[in-house]
Chain A
Amino acid sequence: GQQLNQSPQSMFIQEGEDVSMNCTSSSIFNTWLWYKQDPGEGPVLLIALYKAGELTSNGRLTAQFGITRKDSFLNISASIPSDVGIYFCAGPPLNAGGTSYGKLTFGQGTILTVHP
């Protein structure tokens, strides 16, 4: 199936630093979703993006839907210890006809560690 490549695979940062991560695909997506998974929990939606070029914020988090529709970025400003977790991008792959057919593909995840 289609793959989403997340970068970096892991990050170790100091509290207060800003964080950037991205997600790329070889094919276009119509929707980009960013999830966070806390240790021992299921993923929780952070931000959803539905339009190319869209820039959306959720508190200290900002995500952008790339103009090419093949990538998306997530930024976290002024990180705090509770930002620790795994961040996933996700999206529905399009079939040959250009419509989403119900599948949802996730990236491999970016593991974030924040040192106090």
Chain B
Amino acid sequence: EAQVTQNPRYLITVTGKKLTVTCSQNMNHEYMSWYRQDPGLGLRQIYYSMNVEVTDKGDVPEGYKVSRKEKRNFPLILESPSPNQTSLYFCASSSLPTAEAFFGQGTRLTVV
């Protein structure tokens, strides 16, 4: 079954404690991206990756890092989380940026 898997689904953490949200896809897609969803703001792109070792900033990259060491995985790293990073995060993959994107189930992060 074609899918994008994010982990964890829910996470509560404290300010400053580094965390990683994993994302894995099994469709051999080259394009992957991370979004955060906040009420009234829709989905905002954090980072995207056109291929292995190729990553670039989206619209709201501050406070986040990503890596793309292999095609299937695209982890999102928060080196020093802050409360304003409390949000619902989605990972997505597609063959091209304009092709159908497959989204993960989301990770609800709370930073206290």
Contact = CB atoms under 8 A, between A and B. Distances in A.
Interface residues of B, number: 26
B56 A1 contact: no
B74 interface: no
A102 B92 contact: no
B27 interface: no
Interface in A30-44: 30-31, 33, 35, 40-44
B45 A42 contact: no
B42 A109 contact: yes
For A6, A100, A109, which residue has the most chain B Cβ atoms within 10 angstroms?
A: A109
Given A102-B56, A103-B58, A104-B33, A45 B44 contact: no
Interface stretch (B62-70, B75-83, B98-106): B98-106
Given A108-B40, A109-B42, A44 B103 contact: yes
A73 interface: no
Contact of B50 (A9, A92, A102, A107): A102
A106 B97 contact: no
A72 B42 CA distance: 17
Nearest to B4: A42
A33 B40 CA distance: 19
Interface residues of A, number: 29
Contact of B42 (A33, A92, A108): A108
Interface string A75-103: 00000000000001011100000001011
B59 A103 contact: yes
A87 to B, nearest CB: 11
Interface of B: 4, 31, 33, 35, 40-45, 48, 50, 56, 58-59, 90, 92, 97-101, 103-106
Interface of A: 1, 4, 6, 9, 30-31, 33, 35, 40-45, 48, 50, 88, 90-92, 100, 102-109
Given A106-B44, A108-B40, 19 more contacts: A31-B98, A35-B101, A42-B92, A42-B106, A44-B103, A45-B101, A48-B99, A92-B97, A100-B97, A100-B98, A102-B56, A103-B48, A103-B58, A103-B59, A103-B97, A104-B97, A104-B98, A105-B45, A109-B43
